[in-house]
């Protein structure tokens, strides 16, 4: 029984200590305290959510942000904890993060890349501010930092700006990857900024740019519709026009690129061209039509690369229609299902 009694007493004291600590944390011992500012920030945000006028709502919300930043800075100053290996207080990081979120928020979106980039620099500036003042409470005077403090300020601000620069590099590269996804399909082994963590067995699959394949997959059915079972004379004109620099096939490819890659900025770096060559067979009127989607953006090789789908076109024998009248030869086209990748310059027009 004595053991159970001691256990219950110990448990009661443990719970009592937790409640006292929570009460001390939540209930200020005096009105002029950091808890009061935090509560004022919560009260301001509640009142701003009830406001109906946009201007009044924003003013109250600004006050809430101000109370939150000041209250957090006050609390972390009273209980300073330094980041291991540095002289920067953890409180400055928290306060700097709040200031960045408030200053660079985009409407209701708080997670703005600019806020993340400037967070370290803002925290370093907040860390350096106390060195320019002396005194406590209301008796504060401005001063030039002491010589031993100047080096610390320069090191903290410079290193924080360097971290901000690297964060900016990350967001820039992340934006490039989203807008120009074909860059990731290139060989990145020599890059010091981008590392491809895909497993080796997957590297061959990802080598072919997806957007280049999409262009040809949309282009080939349209070409088949325009050529298959059409009069041979008409098809010969199409093939002759395909050899021109600004051919109808190139214009069709541009429309497909705008429609399918409209969400990517890399759409301006793709173009479609055609190569027409005669095939030396028993019949002189057998042609090979190569449809190319050409990448003109950055590449690990000087020549760049292109994707290709090949089609064979030949005339079918003349036939008679339902009235018994003989018709002229009509075209037959057969295209490969596979898209080929070439890490070199496109071939010249034949």
Instruction: Report the residue count for the chain.
Output: 350
If one counts the domains in the chain, the total is 2
Q: What is the pLDDT of residue 201?
A: 45
Q: Which two tokens stand for residue 320?
A: 């008679």
Whether 251 and 121 map to the same domain: the answer is no
Residue 327, in any domain of the structure: yes
Percent of the chain at pLDDT > 90 equals 25
Q: What is the pLDDT of residues 20-65, one digit of tens each?
A: 655 565 566 666 777 788 888 888 888 888 888 888 888 888 888 8
Residue with more model confidence, 11 or 49: 49
Whether the model clears a pTM of 0.75, i.e. scores above it, the answer is no
Residues 35, 173, single domain; the answer is: yes
Q: Within this chain, do residues 209 and 169 fall inside the same structural domain, yes or no?
A: no
Residue 189 buriedness (CB in 10 A; 0-12 / 13-18 / 19+): exposed
Which of 149-158, 186-195, 308-317 bottoms out in mean pLDDT, i.e. has the lowest?
A: 186-195
Specify the higher pLDDT residue, 223 or 325: 223
* CA–CA separation, 100 and 103 (whole Å): 5
pLDDT of residue 137: 57
pLDDT at 126 over 60: yes
Q: Which helix (H) or strand (E) holds 26?
A: helix 2-26
> Could you report the per-residue pLDDT of 227-245, keeping only the tens digit for each?
998 898 898 888 888 888 7
100 lies in the same domain as 247: no
Q: Are residues 208 and 307 in the same domain?
A: yes
Residue 291 confidence (pLDDT): 94
Query: What CA–CA distance (Å, rounded) separates 346 from 350?
Result: 12
Report the alpha-carbon distance of residue 327 to residue 236 in Å, rounded. Answer: 17
The pLDDT of residue 257 is above 90: yes
Q: Is the pLDDT of residue 79 over 70?
A: no
The confidence band for 205, taking pLDDT boundaries of 50, 70 and 90, is: very low
Rounded to 5 degrees, what are φ and ψ at 226?
-75, -20
Q: Which is more confident, 109 or 321?
A: 109
Q: Which residues contact 98 (CB under 8 A, 6 or more apart)?
A: 65, 68, 69, 72
Identify whether 195 is part of a domain.
no
Residue 234 lies in a domain: yes
């Amino acid at each position: 029984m004595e053991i159970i009694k001691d256990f219950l007493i110990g448990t009661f004291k443990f719970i009592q200590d937790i409640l006292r600590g929570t009460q001390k944390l939540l209930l200020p011992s005096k009105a002029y305290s950091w808890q009061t500012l935090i509560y004022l920030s919560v009260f301001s945000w509640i009142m701003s959510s009830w406001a109906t006028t946009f201007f009044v709502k924003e003013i109250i919300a600004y006050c809430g942000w101000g109370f939150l930043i000041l209250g957090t800075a006050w609390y972390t100053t009273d209980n300073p904890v330094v980041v291991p290996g540095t002289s920067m207080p953890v409180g400055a990081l928290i306060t700097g993060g709040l200031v960045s979120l408030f200053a660079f928020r985009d409407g209701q979106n708080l997670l703005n890349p600019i806020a993340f980039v400037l967070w370290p620099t803002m925290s370093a500036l907040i860390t350096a501010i106390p060195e320019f003042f002396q005194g406590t409470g209301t008796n504060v005077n401005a001063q030039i930092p002491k010589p031993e403090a100047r080096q610390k300020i320069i090191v903290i601000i410079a290193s924080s700006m360097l971290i901000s620069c690297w964060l900016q590099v990350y967001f820039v590269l992340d934006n490039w990857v989203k807008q120009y996804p074909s860059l990731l399909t290139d060989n990145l082994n020599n890059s010091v900024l981008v590392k491809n963590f895909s497993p080796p067995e997957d590297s061959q699959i990802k080598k072919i740019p997806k957007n280049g394949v999409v262009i040809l997959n949309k282009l080939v059915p349209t070409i088949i519709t325009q050529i298959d079972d059409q009069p041979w004379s008409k098809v010969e004109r199409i093939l002759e026009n395909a050899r021109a620099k600004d051919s109808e096939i190139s214009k069709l490819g541009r429309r497909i690129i705008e429609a399918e890659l409209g969400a990517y900025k890399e759409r301006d770096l793709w173009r479609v061209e055609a190569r027409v060559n005669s095939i030396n067979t028993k019949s002189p009127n057998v042609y090979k039509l190569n449809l190319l989607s050409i990448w003109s953006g950055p590449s690990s090789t000087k020549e760049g690369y292109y994707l290709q789908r090949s089609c064979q076109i030949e005339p079918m024998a003349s036939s008679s229609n339902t009235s018994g009248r003989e018709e002229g030869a009509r075209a037959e086209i057969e295209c490969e299902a596979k898209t080929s990748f070439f890490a070199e310059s496109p071939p010249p027009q034949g």
